[in-house]
Chains A and B, each alone.
Chain A
Amino acid sequence: MNWFLKGIRMGVRTEKDYHHETKWPSRLKRAQEGEVKCPTDAIGEEWRPERCIFCRACEPLFSPTGETLTPKVERSDRTFRRSFYLYPLDAGSCGACNLELRLISSPQYDMTRFGIFFTNTPKHADALVIMGNLGKRMEEVIRRAYDVMPSPKLVILLGTCAISGGVTGIPPDIRGDVIIPGCPPTPASILDALIRAKGGEIP
C-alpha cells in the first residue's frame, strides 16, 4: 500500500497535550531537612535546576515531582511566530541531548504544527541550539555558526552541560537567551521552551 494512504489509515498520533510525567528530570522539591552533598552545587538557598544533573544523590531529602521543568526564556521574538528555524550545534555532548532534540519531530510531539523546523545551515537559522560541554576544538565552530546567522537571532542552551558544565566539563562561552535545564531535557520541556521563544503560548 502506498505510504500516503497508509499514513491516513494510521490516524493521528500527535498528542494535543504532549506533557508527560517523567521522574528524572522533573522539578525537585525538598521533602526532608538535612545537608545534601550535591556534585554540581545545585542546592544553595534553593534548588537551581540549571546546575542540576538529576543524579538522584539528594534523594530522599529532595524528591522529583514529575512535573515538566520550566525553561527560562529571557528573550523571545515574535518575528518567529509563524516559522522558527533551528540550527542544532553539538559542542561536546554525551549524545542524549541530541537525541531528545530530534524527538520533538516525532509524531507524538510534531514540532512542525507549531511552526518549528530544523535547518542544515546556520545561514537559514533563527536560533542556534547549543548542547554539551565545550569540546576541544569547538570554540571557533560555535563562533562561526553564530556569526553567519542573520539577525534577529536567538541562542538556546540545551541541557545542563551547555548551561553550567555539569560533571563532565565546562560550558561553551556564550550567553543564552533561552535556557532549557535537564540532563537531558525532555522533549516536552524543549518544545515548551521553543514555543515560548517564538512568542507563542504553551498548549
Chain B
Amino acid sequence: MRIIGDLGPYCLTSEGLREGPCAREVEEHRDLGYGSFNFLYGPSAGGLLESVGFEIATYGESIERIGHVPYKGRQIKITQLPVEEALIRVERINGAFAASHSISFLQAVEKAFEAEVPYEVTVSRMAQLELERIRNNLFVIQRVLESASFLVPSYLLLQQVEEVNRTIARSCGHRYFFGANYPGRVECEHEVPSLKIGDVEKILENRIFIDRLQGNGVIKEDNSIGPAARASGFRYDARLDSDLFVYRDFDLKVPTQDHGDAFSRILVRLEEIKESLRILQELRVKPHTFPMRVRDGEGIGRVESPSGDLAYLVRIRNGRIERAFLLAPSSVNMRLFLRSMPGNIFTDFPFNWESFGIWISELEVDLK
C-alpha cells in the first residue's frame, strides 16, 4: 500500500480511503538567528508562469528555509449544481490538466451512479490522458531549458508543444479538452502528434545542461507521487493500480531513475513521452455514448495526471453534487518541492521549480 495524499478529511491510499489526514513528518522550524534575512519572491515575478509567492530565508546565497505564499487562489463552487454544470467548472480548475480533472471527476460520478463504462470510452480517456501527458512533459522540459537560458532548444520544444495542442484540437475540438467529456459521452477522434523526440533527446545530452540540473533539488520520499516519485526510484503510478483503465492490455512501461534530482525528473518525463506516444499509437479512438442512470451515491475517481495521482471524491443526491473533494497532484508536489529546496542556492531555484511541473491554479483552488 502507498500513501497518495489528503482527499478532503481523508487520506487516500492505493487501497482506498482512511479516516483523517495522511501522517507526515512535522517540519522543524529552526531559528536562523544573526545574519539571516527573509524576502518574498513573487507573486508576479518575471520567469514565473503563474502568480505565486515564496517566502525565503537566507544568509545570502543558499536557501535555508522556504514557504509558499498563496495569491491567485480562486473559490470555485460546484456543490448544489447538476453534474454537467459542475463539469464545466472542474475543467477550468487547471486547464493544462483538464483531461485529468474531468476524467477523474466523471469516474467518481460514474462510481456514484454505479454505471458501467464501455471499453471504447475507457480507451478514449486513456488517449486523452496520454496526449495531455505528452504536452505537459514537453512543456516542463521547455520551461527548464528556458530557465537555464538554452533558448534555441527551448523554442524547438515550444514548437512541439504547439504541435500537440493542434493534435488535441483536431482530436477533441478544443486545445485543452474543454467540452470533450460528458456524463455518458466522449467526443474525441483518433489523432497522434508527429513529434521529433530524437531532437529532444539530443538536447538533454548537452553537458552544460546536465551539470546545471544534476544534484539539484534532491528529494527521495516514500510519500511522493508521479514523476517526482519515479525519479527517486519509487515505481508509483496510478495507471498501474487503478482498475478504471485497461493499461495492462497495453503492457505499460513505467520508467524510473535513482537520483531524485531535477535531472532525473526530466529524464523520467522524456521516457514517459516515448511510452505515451507508443500507447497512443495502439489505441483506437472514436466518439461514443452510453446510458447512465442518475441515483444517489458516492464515488472516487483517480487518474495519473502528468504530475502524478489526481483524485476526486464526489457525493451526489437528487442529481446534484452534495459534496466534492479534490486531491490535486500539485499540492503533493509543492510539499516535495519545498522540502527539496533548503541547501540549494538561489540560482538553482528556477530549474528545480520547473522540474516538478506544479500548477498553482489547482493547488490554490478552494473547491466548494
Chain A neighbourhood of B89, CB < 8 A: 167-168
Candidates B71, B93, B176, B359; contact of A138 at CB < 8 Å: B71
- Count of interface residues, chain A, beta-carbon cutoff 8 Å: 56
Which residues of A121-171 are within 8 A (CB) of B? 121, 132-133, 135-138, 141, 145, 166-169
Contact partner, A103, options B96, B158, B174, Cβ 8 Å: B158
Please, how many angstroms separate the alpha-carbon atoms of A57 and B139 in the complex?
A: 30
Q: Is the CB of B71 within 8 A of A106?
A: no
Q: List chain B residues, Cβ under 8 A from A97.
A: 95
Q: In the complex, what residues of A have CB within 8 A of residue B359's CB?
A: 95
Q: Cβ of B85 < 8 Å from any Cβ of A?
A: yes
Expressed in whole angstroms, the Cα–Cα distance for A20 and B162 within the complex equals 12
Q: A93-B50, A106-B162 are in contact. List 19 more A-B contacts (CB 8 A).
A: A3-B152, A13-B159, A24-B173, A24-B174, A39-B85, A90-B51, A94-B98, A95-B49, A95-B94, A96-B175, A97-B95, A105-B158, A106-B159, A132-B74, A135-B71, A136-B364, A141-B51, A167-B88, A183-B178
In the complex, what residues of A have CB within 8 A of residue B74's CB? 92, 132-133, 135-136, 168-169
Which of B39-47, B218-226, B251-259 makes up part of the contact surface?
B39-47
A6, B313: Cα distance in complex, Å: 49
The residues of A that contact B158 with a CB separation of less than 8 Å are 102-103, 105-107
Q: Which residues of B contact A145 (CB under 8 A)?
A: 44
Interface size on B (CB < 8 Å)? 48
CB-based contact B92/A166 at 8 Å: yes
Give the total number of A-B pairs whose CB atoms are below 8 A apart.
Answer: 152
Residues of B within 8 A of A (CB): 43-47, 49-51, 70-76, 84-85, 88-89, 92-96, 98, 139, 152-153, 155-156, 158-159, 161-162, 165-166, 169, 173-176, 178-179, 359-362, 364
Q: A53-B88, A89-B51, A91-B51 are in contact. Are A137 and B96 (CB under 8 A)?
A: no
> Could you tell me the distance between the alpha carbons of A20 and B93 in the complex, rounded to whole angstroms?
26
Q: How far is the CA of A118 from the CA of B257 in the complex (A)?
A: 36
Closest to B196 in A: A10
B175 & A168 in contact (Cβ 8 Å cutoff): no
Question: Is the pair B94, A106 in contact by a Cβ cutoff of 8 Å?
Answer: no
Can you list 15 A-B contacts with CB-CB less than 8 angstroms, sorted by A residue number? A22-B169, A39-B88, A55-B88, A56-B173, A64-B173, A89-B44, A90-B49, A90-B50, A92-B74, A93-B95, A93-B361, A102-B158, A103-B165, A137-B70, A168-B74
Shortest CB distance A186–B (Å): 7
Q: Report the bound CA distance from A76 to B43 in whole Å.
A: 29
The proximity string for A residues 1-35 relative to B, scoring 1 for CB distances below 8 Å and 0 otherwise, is 00110110010010000001011110000000000
Contact partner of A22 among B45, B49, B98, B175, CB < 8 A? B175
A129 to B139, CA, bound (A): 21
